A and B are shown apart, each in its own frame.
Chain A
């Protein structure tokens, strides 16, 4: 009977998750361009990957971006949520304003940022010039493009912010009262109550953040096209190009399989370490 309820998911699990993982593992050992049948080539694709300068670049770019993104999505959003959590006039509106940019589709945000930071007639360069500073290359500058893309993720912290907010609201007030009576400062309250009580939520945002950051695609596809000088060549953009523009399905499968392994490895590692720093209130785990 239970299987009737689970039937759609079991089919989906096999056909759209487990099957594809196995298939792409098999495909990654072949040379396959859809038109002619797949040809077994052993570890060629993996050897190619190591020597493929673009892959190494994509790996670097994606890891660099991940650090930026996690800083925004996991760390900064916590402080924004703590600001919003204090009851007071305007905090409802504040929550709304913080969440609002997350609703804008990434492709549209990418175009908007492209205009605001346009080298020739963008708003920011206009303002810089007004106050007597030199114009910047921004998305056209190999040095600035990726850090800029990373910083702009601040506008997409909405969902992490909401998760933190609900986490903060479920911390019992008596814990704060107890520690305040003892004369603890705000910093100590943060370290001894907020952080431990929130640690399961931080773990959740960290895991989701990692999965999200390895999948960044829209902004590179719409705005930078991986450039300048491949400085925003994200992993997923590389997979997309190899698979759906060059039809190198075998090589692209190897790329996506390694992506899966890396994400699984990193999140697995975090879960492993989580028992040292995640505090579960009165529950064994």
Chain B
């Protein structure tokens, strides 16, 4: 066998290699540009409609920016076309805020116990937790509804929030357990020598290290609650606890002449706070810590 057969395929040199490199780079940039455009155009159109003049949302051909730009929509949209949105916003903040808080606390506690403590039945509980990862929300919704209507919690916030206080989501528990497993046990040992029990060890030693994970998990929870439609539809049919998605939808469904610009502005205003927080935290997402330890453990 000659030497040339065993050596790797010759790498193009000089000019040719450079040209290939450049072409590859161009293809890469063009595909990125294409996908970015596909992704951003509907979002742009949404903002475009939000700033359009009422009745002129669908004038064709559309310009690149609405003409005229109606900044006053920002102020008019929360007033609603039938019902002001502030009450719904308050309910959404309560649902998303208290739900997220309770879920994080419960998930951390359960995750800590599953990662750090030895007790009979641990494997069973962990297996059940992982099993519940695939439980579709809708599969349990009817008995939950019947239970809450029996004890009079339907049409109160509690029907929405309470389930999340009891353990949060299996996903969150799983994530917290995986995270606690990555922290060296020396921390626990040191805390124990200093006389701290598991409760203090968890809150004072481990939780401060978990802040990035808690932020990420908290944002996922918050965005889920904030945008949730099915939950509030089933559990909240009165003004007292209807949330923003219901409020915005009922505004636009209740008028004979739906005011599209205002509808779109309402949703833009609703997305904005969540989007800003996500953008600010984007660097953390990039680290990939969220799913570290996913593989095979």
Contact = CB atoms under 8 A, between A and B. Distances in A.
Interface of A: 1-3, 5-6, 8-13, 15-21, 23-24, 27, 34, 80, 83-84, 86, 88, 90-101, 103-109, 111-113, 115-116, 121, 123, 126, 130, 154-155, 162-163, 165-167, 169-170, 181-183, 200-201, 204, 207, 210-211, 214-215, 217-218, 221-222, 236, 239-240, 243-244, 249, 252-253, 256-257, 259-260, 263-264, 267, 280-281, 283, 285
Contacts of B125: 6, 9-10, 13
Nearest to B253: A222
A159 to B, nearest CB: 8
A259 B139 contact: yes
Nearest to A99: B278
Interface residues of B, number: 94
> Chain A: interface secondary structure?
helix
A123 B60 CA distance: 8
Contacts of B218: none
Contacts, number: 279
Interface of B: 8-9, 11, 25, 28-29, 31-32, 35-36, 38-40, 42-43, 45-46, 49, 58, 60-62, 106, 109-110, 112-114, 117-119, 122, 125, 128-129, 132-147, 149, 163, 165-168, 173, 198, 202, 223, 226-227, 229-230, 233-234, 245, 248-249, 252, 260, 263-264, 267, 270-271, 274-275, 278-279, 282, 285-292, 294-297
Contacts of A243: 141-142, 145
A256 B142 contact: yes
A111 B266 CA distance: 12
Most chain A CB inside 10 Å of its own CB: which residue of B45, B136, B202, B223: B136
Nearest to B131: A264
A116 B58 CA distance: 10
Contacts of A162: 285, 290
21 contacts: A2-B119, A8-B106, A8-B110, A9-B106, A13-B167, A19-B143, A24-B140, A83-B28, A98-B39, A103-B271, A106-B229, A113-B42, A123-B60, A126-B60, A214-B136, A221-B229, A222-B249, A239-B141, A252-B142, A256-B141, A283-B297
B143 A27 contact: yes
B43 A259 contact: no
A64 to B, nearest CB: 18
A246 B32 CA distance: 48
Given A16-B144, A27-B143, A256-B142, A103 B278 contact: yes
A26 to B, nearest CB: 9
Most chain A CB inside 10 Å of its own CB: which residue of B133, B134, B252: B134
Given A101-B42, A243-B141, 18 more contacts: A9-B125, A9-B168, A12-B163, A23-B146, A24-B140, A94-B36, A97-B40, A100-B43, A103-B274, A104-B271, A105-B267, A108-B245, A108-B267, A111-B263, A201-B295, A244-B234, A253-B143, A260-B136
A91 B29 CA distance: 9
